[in-house]
Amino acid sequence: MAVATEGDLIAERYKLVRKVGSGAMGTVWQARDQLLRRDVAVKELLVRTGMTELQTDEARNRAMREARLAARLHHPNVISIYDVVEYEGRPCLIMEYLPSQSLADLIAENGVLPVGTVARIGTQIASALAAAHTAGIVHRDVKPANVLLTGDNVAKLTDFGISRADGDATVTAAGLLAGTPAYLPPEVAQGHDSVFASDVYALGAMLYAAVEGHPPFGTDDNAVALLHRIATEEVPPPEHAVPLTATLVWMLRRDPKHRPEAKEVQDALGALAESMPAEMPAPAPVPVEEAPPVAAAEGPDRRKVVAIALIVGAVVIAIVVTVYALNQPQPSSTAGSPSTTPSHTTTASSTTTTPAPTSTTTGTTTTTSTTTTTSAAPPPADVSSQLTAFITDYYKLMPNDLQDGWGHLTAAYQSGTAGGFAGYQQFWSQFSGIDLSGITATPPGTVVATLTYHYKNGGTRVERTTFGLVQQDGAWKIASSVVG
């Protein structure tokens, strides 16, 4: 069978323009749809050597069948499949062409990504999987290389169903797995078929790699050894994922029945993403042309231009600061009595107020033209004290006031780590009390504390625990907890 080359016309309609990628499953081309006059992507699926004619036919037919099924899925976070054709006996997928960068490339460039970035990407991909699962479609190959990121921070999942369509062909004639199985779930590594929960595990492994810099079990060149670890060992707890840890642990549970559904992952990651700063690294940076040198701004003239610019800038800044200050409320005549309510609030500049008794003081404020007072953001110590106070207050409720304590947890933590309210009750039913010591807090949301659990039978258990806290609706909540 001939290999496609630049300029070939596929199905008498799609002219290949340039090769944009290749891998174990095939080659991807940018092509031009001669009929609709638009750019498309053509994925030419390879049929592996060493297969019998019957196996080749089965693989090709399966590819065509599952690709047509995936073509029925329309979602803003899924690369659309427009058509399925054959070229020289090989299936070719005609897909949406998206100028983008893969998540795999972004991880390779940055090493690790910010947790907020990962939560936003994960929310979009979980939404795509939820739609696919509702339509009865299992992706089977969720991994960073199959997630495309645009310059405006949109994540799209590609290659739906294709890994399974070519699935039998991923095993070579020698019976060894081709490529790395780093994102395979345990049940697939053990030889079972992929199910919806398998996609959820693979998504968790992908997000794990994005925040840790490597998949849960690494990327051993020995695929068989890596498969064995995935099939038999527990996932090492992530070290840098707080406050994403609880959701990742939930997604990466060994038993598929104990993993969340894709919609639950979407909700959990979405809530986390909303509580974190938008710090998406640009996946497809646009080069900026340098301005040509200005010949007239040389020597003394150049220095004059710079000096004038600096003076104008200073004047503008002074005016802005003064106007802002004159419009700010002046300090009350009674110091140390803030007028606040016992709640936690967050402003756009991440300024927080420490809980304090409610009090109101009335006084007269005078502002002169020579004296201004500006309002500065509280130092990080204020946030640290809030974090410490929150954890301290939460454990004062335990184990007697579970209803109130339950409200101190995020929805993802409640359903995942806590195992629902029934699991929460069961856990705390074994203890008569708990003591805290050695509490340290690190903004924006990390608290480490030593917990001493007192069992009802008289025994004790001591654990050093790291908590990840987030703010939701103006209140701190526990989003994750890791022992050790």
HSE, side-chain direction, 13 A CA sphere, residue 425: 4
Backbone angles phi, psi at 45, to 5 degrees: -80, 135
Q: Is 141 a catalytic residue?
A: yes
> Could you tell me which of 150, 37, 51, 62 has the C-alpha nearest to residue 99?
150
Instruction: Mark residue 474 as left, alpha or beta (left: phi above 0; alpha: psi -120 to 50; beta: remaining).
Output: left
124 contacts 100 by C-beta, under 8 angstroms = no
> Could you tell me which of 217, 242, 204, 197 has the C-alpha nearest to residue 413?
242
78 contacts 146 by C-beta, under 8 angstroms = no
Alpha-carbon gap, residue 208 to 241, rounded angstroms:
8
> Could you tell me which of 314, 272, 289, 213 has the C-alpha nearest to residue 416?
272
Alpha-carbon gap, residue 313 to 472, rounded angstroms:
39
444 preceded by a cis bond (ω within 30 of 0)? yes
Alpha-carbon gap, residue 325 to 344, rounded angstroms:
25
Q: How far is CA 98 from the centre of its chain?
A: 21
Alpha-carbon gap, residue 26 to 35, rounded angstroms:
25
The two three-digit tokens of residue 44, written as one number: 């030419």
- Does residue 43 have a known ligand-binding role? yes
244 contacts 197 by C-beta, under 8 angstroms = no
| Helix, strand, or coil (residue 465) | strand
167 contacts 192 by C-beta, under 8 angstroms = no
User: Look-up: residue for tokens 């050093």?
Assistant: 464
> Could you tell me which of 12, 276, 10, 4 has the C-alpha nearest to residue 122?
276
Q: State the helix-helix crossing angle for 103-110 and 196-212, rounded to 10 degrees.
A: 20
Q: CB under 8 Å to 26, separation ≥6 — which residues?
A: 43, 44, 45, 46
Other CB atoms closer than 10 Å to residue 164's CB: what's the count?
19
> Could you tell me which of 8, 21, 3, 4 has the C-alpha nearest to residue 97?
21
Pick the catalytic residue from 83, 141, 159, 166.
141
Tell me, what DSSP letter sits at residue 146?
A: G
Q: Which residues are annotated as a binding site?
A: 43
Q: Which residues are annotated as a binding site for ATP?
A: 43
**Could you list the active site residues?**
141
